[in-house]
Amino acid sequence: MGSMETVLDVRDVTKVYEGFTLRDVSFSLPPGYIMGLIGHNGAGKTTLLSLILGLVRLDAGEIRVFGLDHRREEVAVRSRIGFVHEVPTFFSSLSVARAGAVVAPFYPTWDEAGFRELAREFGLDPGKKLGSLSQGMRTRFALAVALSHRAELLLLDEPSSGLDPAFRRDLLERLSGVIEGGKTSVLFSTHITSDLDRIADFVTFLRRGRLMFSTTREDVLERWFLVKGGSELLSGDVRPLFAGVVSGEYGFTGLTENLPELRARVAEEAMVVERATLEDVVFYTGRTGEEGMTLHDRSS
């Protein structure tokens, strides 16, 4: 792998911390697409993005960006990446315009007019100190910087979490616009799964440092189903078919990707089947321990 057919190629990536391990994560992102990175808090989303940016060192595996080794060619790689960190920080004493001028020399492709235009569109006062901006406004500043040097890969860590709903929608539309030329790709982590419903082409799901799946959004929505029924249905050989189950007084709701097998074991009239949403997938897989997990990595 590592060809330019993929903008980002993550292979068997492992990072070990005390109390947390991101293990054997593999996926790839083709040019001109948006990939959403989802998972519960502490699933490893920020660690993965930090690994790609080279902020954190790999313990095993390989990351290639634009076909280049992300460590050995770190400058060439990062000059083509735009990033927004979860908590955007910058020198608070600098004004928006001055901060833009400080970042500009790092990027040969910096577009000053484009930056000023984006700052205006994002409602950023060029004379205002960054320290006096709210987190949402600092995220807007970071986005303006990320979009002002014609980045070919945008890495966004929870970019929409500090934003008001109107700007969040605007951001999502802008990201959709950014990939239209087919040269720019976006990888963004979020736990607001409705954002992914709107724009993501691919979805990568991490759970407790493990890759649960990395596939197209359509595939997720076609594979996963919510099943409701009486608690008596959860007999020994049926329960393992669910990735997650929530039981109540009047029955249960469970998430499954094994619908044909389930239908072979349970009468159709005894259960109600609905298509699952991304939020259902995240929610229900977080409700269980390892038992019953039959998820597969379909990225390769």
Partner 1 sequence: MTAQAETVKPGRSFHGLSGVLRKDWAVFIPRDRFLVALIYLLAHPMVFPVEEAFFWLGIGLAGALVAYVPTMEWHQETDRMLNSLPVRRATVVFSRYLSSVIACIVAGVAWVSTGHLLAPLLDTLLEGGRATPGMWTTFGGVLTFFLMACLLVSLFLPLYFRLGMGRGTLAFVGLSFGLLVLASLPSGLSLPAAALGTFVETLSTEVGPGWALFVILGGMGAALTFSGRLSVRWFERRDL
- Pick 4 or 55: Cβ nearer partner 1: 55
Tokens standing for 87? 């908590």
Interface with partner 1, residue 87, by CB under 8 A = yes
Q: From the CB of 280, what's the least distance to partner 1, in Å?
A: 33
Binding mask 91-110 for partner 1 (x = CB under 8 A): xxxx---x--xxx-xxxxx-
By beta-carbon proximity to partner 1, the closer residue of 108 and 289 is 108
In the complex, least distance from residue 80 CB atom to partner 1, rounded to whole angstroms: 6
Least distance between partner 1 and beta carbon 176 (Å)? 17
Is 192 a binding residue for partner 1 by CB under 8 A? The answer is no
Q: Is 81 left (phi over 0), alpha (psi -120 to 50) or beta?
A: beta
**Tokens encoding 186:** 């976006």
Site membership for partner 1, residue 127 (CB under 8 A): no
Name which of residues 47 to 86 contact partner 1 (CB under 8 A): 50, 53-57, 68, 72-81, 83, 85
Residues 256, 272: Cα–Cα separation, whole Å: 12
Question: Which residue number, 41 or 57, has a Cβ lying nearer to partner 1?
Answer: 57
Which is closer to partner 1, CB of 127 or CB of 260? 127
Tokens in use for 278?
């991304």
Q: Choose between 10 and 146: whose C-beta lies nearer to partner 1.
A: 146
- Residue 127, both tokens: 């004379």
The size of the interface with partner 1 (CB under 8 A), counted in residues, is 41
Question: Going residue by residue from 239 to 278, which x/- string records binding to partner 1, judged by CB under 8 A?
Answer: ----------------------------------------
Residue among 16 and 272 whose Cβ is closer to partner 1: 16
Which span sits near partner 1 by CB under 8 A: 25-33, 111-119, 191-199, 218-226? 111-119
Binding site for partner 1 (CB under 8 A): 50, 53-57, 68, 72-81, 83, 85, 87-94, 98, 101-103, 105-109, 111, 113-114, 150, 152
